[in-house]
Copies of this chain bind each other. A is one copy, B any other.
Amino acid sequence: MVRLVTQRTYAVPGISCAHCKASIEAAVAGVPGVDAVEVDVAARTVRVDGDVSDEAVRAAIDDAGYDVAD
Contact = CB atoms under 8 A, between A and B. Distances in A.
Interface residues of A, number: 15
Contact of A11 (B2, B8, B45): B2
10 closest cross-chain pairs (CB), A and B: A3-B9, A5-B7, A6-B6, A2-B9, A2-B11, A4-B8, A1-B8, A1-B10, A2-B10, A1-B54
Interface string A23-43: 000000000000000000000
Given A2-B11, A4-B9, 15 more contacts: A1-B10, A1-B54, A1-B68, A2-B9, A2-B45, A2-B69, A3-B9, A4-B6, A4-B8, A5-B5, A5-B6, A5-B7, A5-B8, A6-B7, A7-B7
